Amino acid sequence: MIKTDWLYTDKVLEHFMHPKNILVDEDAYEADGKGITGNIKCGDQMIVVIKVDKEKGIIKDCKWKTFGCASAIASTSALSEMVKGRTLEDAYHVSAKDINKELGGLPEHKIHCSVLGDKALRAAINDYYIRNGMEDKVKKEEARIVCNCMNITDHEIEEAVLEGARTFYEVQEMTKAGTVCGECKDDITELVEVYKNKHFCQT
């Protein structure tokens, strides 16, 4: 019955029904780095913790806990398997698109849930750097104002694309960007293409 009604791939089903590396006892887990992120719009929150081989700079273990949907659970389960044994630098650059490919694809309206894991992982890696006096390695994802009239950032435009916007006018409707002078239209249109390519598998 579950498979009959299931809209996802078998890999998503496997990771959702039998998730890997769940963080059972957060207090007892001696993490070298911890990251927390959330998406208020869909109500998800994600915690990712890592243990690191400090001599080699390699992730030895990755566990997670989420209050989220099937896509968030399956995506982070897959991510936790993907990053074990990778260097911190390599793991930092694992993207939602990489996870999506690993799972064989997610419905477009659920991609926004799958980004929680990689965002929390990046926060955990940065936390590890801070704890170990390597602040120079911390990467900050600074927001850039794209629409000065409405004070809309590139991060907000990215969220709109993840939520389903595919054109300037759809971003405009969701964020109100470009509704005053319209000078940011070309910039927004370009960003839409950038974020579509970043997050969604090519068909």
Whether the pLDDT of residue 110 is over 70: the answer is no
Whether the pLDDT of residue 2 is over 50: the answer is no
Question: In 44-167, which residue ranges form alpha helices assigned H by DSSP?
Answer: 70-83, 88-92, 96-102, 111-131, 154-162
145-199: CATH topology is Arc Repressor Mutant, subunit A (1.10.10)
**What separation in angstroms does the CA of 35 have from each of 104, 164, 167, 180?**
26, 26, 32, 37
Integer Cα distance of 102 and 97 in angstroms:
9
2-137: CATH topology is Sufe protein. Chain: A (3.90.1010)
Query: pLDDT by residue (tens digit) across 182-191?
Result: 999 999 999 9
Does residue 201 carry a catalytic annotation? Answer: no
Query: pLDDT by residue (tens digit) across 61-87?
Result: 999 998 777 888 888 999 999 999 999
Query: pLDDT by residue (tens digit) across 122-147?
Result: 999 999 999 999 999 998 878 899 99
In the set 42, 69, 149, 201, the catalytic residue is: 42
pTM for the model = 0.74
pLDDT at 139: 86
Whether the pLDDT of residue 108 is over 60: the answer is yes
Whether the pLDDT of residue 176 is over 60: the answer is yes
In the set 62, 113, 147, 184, the catalytic residue is: 113
* CA dihedral of residues 203, 73, 37, 108 (deg, nearest 10): 20
Domain boundaries, the chain: 2-137, 145-199
Does residue 113 carry a catalytic annotation? Answer: yes
